Each structure stands twice: as structure tokens, then as C-alpha cells.
Amino acid sequence: MSKLIINGGRPLNGSVEIEGSKNSVLPILAATVLNSGVNIIHKCPKIHDVKLMLRVLEYIGCKINNEGNTLIIDSSTANKTEIPEVFASEMRSSIIFLGPVLARFGKVTISYPGGCVLLLALFYTETSKLE
């Protein structure tokens, strides 16, 4: 078992900046479609999947303002219910737009998310064996 031994007698002090998490921010970004207004998200990580999610939001009509690590998303102008294959196929997390877009507009069209083509091929192969 590992252990940490601290010798000293001096008090520890300081601060640590906590960054945002990709696994938290991706569903939050998709949920911005729901409120039909301005959303402010602080400490948003600057990673590829976040950039792709922002491209989807822009495509469906949201206005994006990026100020450092803060995103301001105005979803009042969102007006499309289709997530094109070019976006959906690039990341598995694109499927999380399904619920918010459906809830707001009553319909949604989305391609299979990235990484699912192989699973879909396996599904059709296995089901054809049943016939």
C-alpha cells in the first residue's frame, strides 16, 4: 500500500484552480438548447469535442461568444432540428443533442453518432443470421 509521509511542522497553504470537465460540459452544452435564452458557462475546457459541440450549436442557430474560458451561448435563435452526419459522425457524444432538440422543437433528425458504424454493421450481421 502506498503512503504519503509529510515531515515538517509548517502549515500548508495555497490554492488550486479547478478546471471544467469534458464529461460535465458536453451535456451542459447540449442542454443550452432547452432554455431559449442566454447561457453562461465558466471554466469550459478548450478541447476538440467542445469545439465540435459548439459547431453543432452554431449550425442549429445558436449564437456563440467565447471569452477566455467562459462561453456565452444564446439559444433563442436556434431553429433547426437536424444534426447533420458531418457533425454526428465525428463524435459519439453528438447523440446527447437528441433529447434537448426533441424537447424544444418536438422533432429531431440525427445520424448515427461517431463510433457506431461498426456496431450497426455487427447488429445487421447478427440479425440477418436469425432470418
* Residue 72 counted as domain residue: yes
Q: What pLDDT is attached to residue 116?
A: 54
Handedness of CA 14, 40, 33, 78 (dihedral sign): negative
Q: Is residue 77 part of a domain?
A: yes
pLDDT for 59 equals 95
Is residue 3 domain-resident?
Answer: no
pTM, full prediction: 0.74
How high is the mean pLDDT of the chain? 84
Over residues 72-93, the pLDDT tens digits come to 999 999 999 998 888 877 877 8
Q: How confident is residue 69, by pLDDT bands cut at 50, 70 and 90?
A: confident
In a domain, 4, yes or no: no
**Residue 17 resides in a domain:** no
- How many domains does one find in the chain? 1
Find the domain containing 105 and state its range: 22-130
Question: Domain with 40 in it: what CATH number?
Answer: 3.65.10.10
Q: Regarding predicted confidence, which is higher, 7 or 58?
A: 58
- Any idea which residues carry the catalytic annotation? 116
